[in-house]
C-alpha cells in the first residue's frame, strides 16, 4: 500500500503543500497544466530556498507578470456576505495588517477613500473549476475544499453559504494553490494519507472584525475535531487554505506509521524565522507493518498484513422519490469526502415503486460526516448503519512506458504473489484522447508493457 505522511510541525498552507509535493518528486508539469487549465492568466515560479538550514521548495503564484499575493492592502482573513459587500463603500482609516505566517508582510496605517473589491462567491469559484479542462476527481477535490471553507465562513457569519464572498481565499493565488494541490494529490495516487498533529502557532491575528487569537475563526472551525497544538513560535502557522486542504484530504492523524520511505519533500513558507524551519515535510513510501511496536508479554502474538480483515462502516438508505441527478451528485460528493466506495442499486420498494438503494462504504472515522451528507442532500428520513469487515490485497504502483505515453499501473499482491494488474483509468483515458485511439487499446498496451 502506497502511503504518505505529512509532518505539520510548522503548520500548513497551500504554497507549502505544493512545495512539498514537488520536493517529493511530483512532476512540475502536473501543476503547470492544472494552473493553465483555469484560464486565470496565472503561472507558477518554482525555486529552491533555505529555511533554517533546510533546503526546500518554494512555489510562487504569478498573475500575469506580477506576484499574486492576496490581501496585500486589506485586512487578513476578510470575508463578507453579499449584502455587506454591496453596500461597503466608505471613507475610513484602517491598518494594513500583517499577512499570515506564510504570506503577510507588515504595512503602515493610512487614510483614504476606497471601495473594497468584492471577492468571488462560492458559485463563481465552483463554476470556474467545473469549466476547467481537468480530470473529474481533481475538480471534485478542489470544489470540496472550497465548500468546506464556505461552510465554515457561513457558520461564523450566520449567512447562507452561497452569499459568502471569499477575499483572501478567493484570490487567484489561493484558487491556484487549491486546484494545483488537488491535481498533485491525484497524480501521486496515494492509497492512504497520514498526518501528524498540526502546530497552529500562537499570538494574535488581525481580521476584518478585530484581533483574534490564532488560529483565525474560519481556520479554527476547519480544524475542529482534528488534533492541534500551539508551540515554538508566536505566529500564525495554518492558513485557511492549508486548513481546507488537510480537511479535504482527510488523513489519519497520529505518529508516522510503519513505512519504507522512498521520497521526502520539504515545502517552504514565505517567512524564514531564526532557528525554526518553516517547512512542511512530506514522506512517501510503502506501508511496512513489520515495524509495529513489540507486544507486551501479556499480549497474544499477532502478525498483521494489509490483506487481514479491516473494520469498515456501511451506510444505507432506500430512496424512491429522489432525482437521479441528485443521486449522482451525492455519490460524487461522498467519494470526494473520503468514502471508500459508493453503490447505487435498483430495488423494488413498497407499493411496487422502483427505487434506488444508496450504499456508502467508509472508514469509521468518516461515518459521521457522510451520515450528515445523506440526511442533508437526499430525501431519506433515516438510514441504516452497520460495521462490516473487508479483506484487501497489498497494493503498489509502477509506471510503464507505452507508445501513448507513461501509464501508471496498480498491482495487487496476496501473500507476496501477484494477483491483479490494473492500469490507472484516468491515465489511459488521457492518453486515448490525446492520441485519438480506443481506450481499451491503451489499457491492453499498458498491461502488455508491464508484463514484459
- Spatial distance between the Cα atoms of 336 and 142, rounded to a whole number of angstroms: 9
Measured CA distances, 388 to 307, 315, 360, 363 (Å): 15, 11, 12, 10
Q: What is the CATH T-level fold of the domain 309-391, as seen in this structure?
A: Alpha-Beta Plaits (3.30.70)
Contact 198, 8 (CB under 8 A): yes
The label of the residue with cell 492576496 reads: 70
- Spatial distance between the Cα atoms of 93 and 378, rounded to a whole number of angstroms: 48
> pLDDT tens per residue, the chain (452 residues)?
899 999 999 999 999 999 999 999 999 999 999 999 999 999 999 999 999 989 999 999 998 877 766 433 223 343 333 333 333 333 333 333 333 344 333 334 333 333 334 467 888 899 999 999 999 989 999 999 988 888 887 787 787 777 766 654 447 888 999 999 999 999 999 989 999 999 999 998 876 667 888 898 889 989 988 899 998 888 899 999 999 999 999 898 888 989 999 999 999 999 998 889 999 999 999 988 654 433 333 333 333 344 445 778 999 999 999 999 999 999 999 988 888 899 999 999 988 999 999 999 998 878 888 998 999 999 999 999 998 888 877 777 888 999 999 999 988 887 777 888 899 998 899 999 999 999 999 999 999 999 98
Contact 219, 240 (CB under 8 A): yes
Closest alpha carbon to 284 in 269, 265, 258? 265
The pLDDT score that the predictor gives to residue 194 is 93
Query: DSSP assignment of 333-389, as one string?
Result: HHHHTT-SEEEEEEEE-GGG-EEEEEEEEE-GGGHHHHHHHHHHHSS-S--EEEEEE
For the domain spanning 394-451, the CATH number is: 3.10.20.300
**Coil, helix or strand at residue 91:** strand
- CA 174, 129, 429, 330 torsion-angle sign: positive
**Coil, helix or strand at residue 396:** strand
Q: What is the edge-to-edge ordering of all strands in the sheet holding 120-121?
A: 79-81, 164-166, 120-121
In terms of Cβ atoms closer than 10 Å to its own Cβ (0-12, 13-18, 19+), residue 399 is: middle
DSSP H helical ranges for 215-343: 217-222, 240-249, 324-336
Element (H, E) at 228: strand 228-229
215 upstream amide cis, omega within 30 of 0: yes
- Please state the separation of Cα 410 from the chain's center in Å: 22
- CA 421, 427, 433, 434 torsion-angle sign: negative
The structural domains of the chain, with segments of one domain joined by +, span 2-70+119-287, 309-391, 394-451
- Spatial distance between the Cα atoms of 153 and 142, rounded to a whole number of angstroms: 17
Taking the model in full, what pTM does it have?
A: 0.59
- Spatial distance between the Cα atoms of 169 and 211, rounded to a whole number of angstroms: 19
Quick count: other Cβ atoms within 10 Å of Cβ 327?
Answer: 17
Amino acid at each position: 500500500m502506497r502511503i504518505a505522511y505529512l509532518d505539520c510541525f510548522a503548520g500548513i498552507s497551500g504554497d507549502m503543500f505544493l512545495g512539498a509535493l514537488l520536493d517529493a518528486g511530483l512532476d512540475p508539469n502536473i501543476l503547470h497544466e492544472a494552473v493553465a487549465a483555469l484560464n486565470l492568466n496565472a503561472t507558477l515560479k518554482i525555486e529552491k530556498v533555505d529555511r533554517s538550514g533546510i533546503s526546500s521548495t518554494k512555489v510562487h503564484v504569478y498573475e500575469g507578470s506580477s506576484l499574486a499575493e492576496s490581501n496585500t492592502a486589506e485586512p487578513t482573513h476578510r470575508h463578507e456576505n453579499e449584502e455587506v459587500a454591496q453596500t461597503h463603500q466608505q471613507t475610513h482609516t484602517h491598518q494594513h495588517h500583517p499577512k499570515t505566517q506564510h504570506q503577510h508582510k507588515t504595512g503602515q496605517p493610512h487614510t483614504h477613500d476606497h471601495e473594497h473589491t468584492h471577492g468571488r462567491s462560492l458559485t463563481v469559484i465552483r463554476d470556474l473549476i467545473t469549466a476547467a479542462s481537468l480530470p473529474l476527481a481533481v475538480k471534485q477535490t478542489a470544489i470540496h475544499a472550497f465548500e468546506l471553507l464556505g461552510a465554515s465562513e457561513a457558520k461564523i457569519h450566520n449567512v447562507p453559504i452561497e452569499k459568502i464572498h471569499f477575499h483572501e481565499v478567493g484570490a487567484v493565488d489561493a484558487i491556484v494553490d487549491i486546484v494545483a494541490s488537488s491535481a498533485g494529490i491525484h497524480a501521486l495516487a496515494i492509497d492512504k494519507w497520514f498526518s501528524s498533529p498540526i502546530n497552529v502557532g500562537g499570538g494574535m491575528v488581525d481580521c476584518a472584525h478585530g484581533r483574534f487569537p490564532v488560529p483565525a475563526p474560519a481556520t479554527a472551525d476547519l480544524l475542529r475535531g482534528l488534533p492541534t497544538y500551539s508551540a515554538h513560535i508566536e505566529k500564525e502557522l495554518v492558513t485557511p487554505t492549508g486548513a481546507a486542504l488537510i480537511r479535504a484530504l482527510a488523513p489519519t492523524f497520529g505518529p508516522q506509521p510503519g513505512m519504507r520511505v522512498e521520497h521526502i519533500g520539504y515545502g517552504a513558507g514565505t517567512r524564514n524565522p531564526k532557528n525554526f524551519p518553516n517547512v512542511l515535510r512530506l514522506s512517501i513510501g510503502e506501508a511496512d507493518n513489520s515495524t509495529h511496536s513489540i507486544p507486551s508479554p501479556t499480549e497474544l502474538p499477532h502478525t498483521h498484513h494489509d490483506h487481514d480483515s479491516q473494520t469498515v462502516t456501511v451506510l444505507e438508505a432506500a430512496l424512491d422519490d429522489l432525482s437521479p441527478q441528485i443521486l449522482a451528485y451525492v455519490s460524487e460528493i461522498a467519494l470526494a469526502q473520503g468514502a471508500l466506495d459508493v453503490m447505487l442499486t435498483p430495488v423494488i420498494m413498497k407499493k411496487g415503486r422502483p427505487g434506488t438503494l444508496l450504499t456508502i462504504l467508509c472508514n469509521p472515522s468518516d461515518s459521521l460526516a457522510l451520515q450528515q451528507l445523506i440526511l442533508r442532500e437526499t430525501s431519506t428520513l433515516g438510514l441504516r448503519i452497520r460495521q462490516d469487515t473487508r479483506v484487501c490485497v497489498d497494493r503498489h504502483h509502477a509506471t510503464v512506458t507505452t507508445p501513448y505515453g507513461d501509464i501508471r499501473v496498480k498491482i495487487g499482491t496476496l501473500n507476496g504473489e501477484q494477483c491483479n494488474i490494473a492500469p490507472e483509468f484516468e491515465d489511459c483515458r488521457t492518453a486515448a484522447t490525446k492520441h485519438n485511439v480506443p481506450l481499451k487499446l491503451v489499457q491492453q498496451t499498458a498491461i502488455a508493457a508491464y508484463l514484459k
